[in-house]
Amino acid sequence: MALTQTVQKGGCAAKVSAAELRHILSQVQFPKPHRELLVDGRYFDDAGVYKINESIALVQTLDFFTPILDSPRYFGAVAAANALSDVYAMGGRPKTAMGILAFPLATMSSDTIVEVMQGASDVVAEAGANFVGGHSIDDDTLKFGLSVTGFVHPEKIWTNAGAKVGDHLILTKPIGTGTITAGLKRQELKENDMLDVIQSMSQLNNAIDFLSDDQINAVHAATDITGFGLSGHSMQLAKASQVTLKIESEKIPVFKLAFNCLEKKFLTKAHRSNADYTNESVQSDRLSILFKSLIHDPQTSGGLLLAVDPLYSPDFIRALKNRFQSVAVIGCVVELEQKSVIFE
C-alpha cells in the first residue's frame, strides 16, 4: 500500500495555516505562566522550556502528521526526526519520546504500523533518547508523531528572539521537500527518485554534539524550517528578534529535483497559505516566480536556521560540514527595516 494515496495532505504541509493558527490562539485564555516557564508559545518558538533548577530545564514539544512517504519505515523515521528536531532547535538534547498514533484498523495491516514504529524507534535510538510509551486511537487515516522531552541548560537556550545585527544566517539542510513529496503523492515520482530528500528528512538536526561550547554560545537565535517554509519561519525569527534578515537566494541550498517539480506545479495548499502569511512582512519581488514558490515551500523535517556570531561562522561551518553536507551561510542580520525578511 502506498501510504501517500491514503490521505489528502502529507507531512508538515498538513499543518493548520500559520495565519489561522494565530487567529485561533489569540482567542484562548491560557493560564498565567509560572516564573519557571522560560519559553512559551508567545514567539512561535519550536518548543516550550521549563526551568527545573539552576543547571537543568525541560524542553517539551510534540509533532505528528499524515504520511509524506509511501514506505511505512521511511515515514516513521521522518516523523521521528521531525519531532526530535524541535528539541535540537532549542539547543537541547532529547531524553524521552512518546508515540502519538492514529491508525485505521479496518483498512491497514498491523504490519504497517510495526514498520512505522520501527522506523521511528531507530531514529529515537540514534538520538540517544528513550521510547517510553504513547497513545493510539482507531481513526480513518494514519497519523504518527512523537511527544518529546529534552534537557537544556537554562542559560544556553536557543530561541527565536535573540538574533543580533551582524549575525550570519546559517541553514543546515536544502529546501524543496514540499514540492518534491507533492510529486510523489501525484505518482509522478517514486521514492527511488528522491533518496537524497528522504535521507535529509530522516536526518537528526543534532548540531550541538558537533560544536564546541564557544560555538554553541555563538548561536544567538535558532529555529527549524518546517511547514511554514523558509519565508514563514525566518519571518517569525526576525519579528521575535526585532531585526531584519537579508537572505541571498543564490546561497540557499536546494534539492536537485525542486525546481523541476515547481515547474510542473507540484504544489500544496501550504504554498499559498505561506505566501499569504508572509505577504506584508517579506520582500521577494526580485526573485523569479519559481524561487518565490520555493521560499514558501512547506518543509518536513527541514534544517536549522541559525543566527550566529560572524566571528564564529567559518569554524561553525567547518564543524558541521561532515554531518550536514549542504550547510551554508545564506545571509545576515541587519537593523530593523520596513520588511522583516528581504530575499535578494
Q: Output the domain CATH number for residue 28.
A: 3.30.1330.10
Q: How far apart are CA 300 and CA 304, in angstroms?
A: 12
Per-residue confidence in pLDDT tens, the chain, 344 aa:
788 887 777 666 667 777 888 888 889 888 898 999 999 987 788 999 999 999 999 999 999 999 999 999 999 999 999 999 999 999 999 999 999 999 999 899 999 999 999 999 999 999 999 999 999 999 999 999 999 999 999 999 999 999 999 999 999 999 999 999 999 999 999 999 999 999 999 999 999 999 999 999 999 999 999 999 999 999 999 999 999 999 999 999 999 999 999 999 999 999 999 999 999 999 999 999 999 999 999 999 999 999 999 999 999 999 999 999 999 999 999 999 999 999 99
List phi, psi (to 5°) of 65.
Answer: -165, 175
Same domain, 207 and 145: no
Same domain, 211 and 308: yes
Determine, yes or no, domain membership for 162.
Answer: no
Q: How far apart are CA 152 and CA 40, in angstroms?
A: 15
- Domain end, chosen from 92, 127, 152, is at 152
Q: Please report the pLDDT score of residue 11 as a whole number.
A: 63
Which DSSP symbol is given to 254? Answer: B
Q: Please report the pLDDT score of residue 253 as a whole number.
A: 98
Is 12 among the residues known to form the active site? yes
Give the DSSP H/E element, type plus range, for residue 310: none
Same domain, 23 and 95: yes
Task: Point out the catalytic residue in the list 12, 80, 84, 124.
Answer: 12
Same domain, 250 and 321: yes
Please identify which residue in the block is written with the cell numbers 551582524.
166
Same domain, 42 and 133: yes
Determine, yes or no, domain membership for 157.
Answer: no
Q: Please report the pLDDT score of residue 295 as a whole number.
A: 98
Same domain, 182 and 66: no
Of the candidates 13, 74, 6, 4, the one whose C-alpha atom is nearest the C-alpha of residue 299 is 13
Same domain, 130 and 189: no
Intra-chain end-to-end CA distance of the chain, in Å: 43
Q: Please report the pLDDT score of residue 42 as a whole number.
A: 79
With 0-12 / 13-18 / 19 or more C-beta atoms within 10 angstroms meaning exposed / middle / buried, residue 150 is: buried
Same domain, 119 and 182: no
Determine, yes or no, domain membership for 285.
Answer: yes
Same domain, 190 and 145: no
Q: In the chain, where does DSSP find H-type helix?
A: 18-25, 72-89, 110-126, 177-185, 195-202, 213-217, 229-241, 258-263, 269-278, 289-295, 313-321
Same domain, 138 and 217: no
What's the grid cell of residue 12? 508538515
**CATH code, domain carrying 187:** 3.90.650.10
Same domain, 206 and 100: no
Residue range(s) defining the domain that contains residue 89 = 3-152
With 0-12 / 13-18 / 19 or more C-beta atoms within 10 angstroms meaning exposed / middle / buried, residue 129 is: buried
Determine, yes or no, domain membership for 241.
Answer: yes
Determine, yes or no, domain membership for 181.
Answer: yes
Determine, yes or no, domain membership for 163.
Answer: no
Same domain, 324 and 244: yes
How many domains does the chain divide into? 2
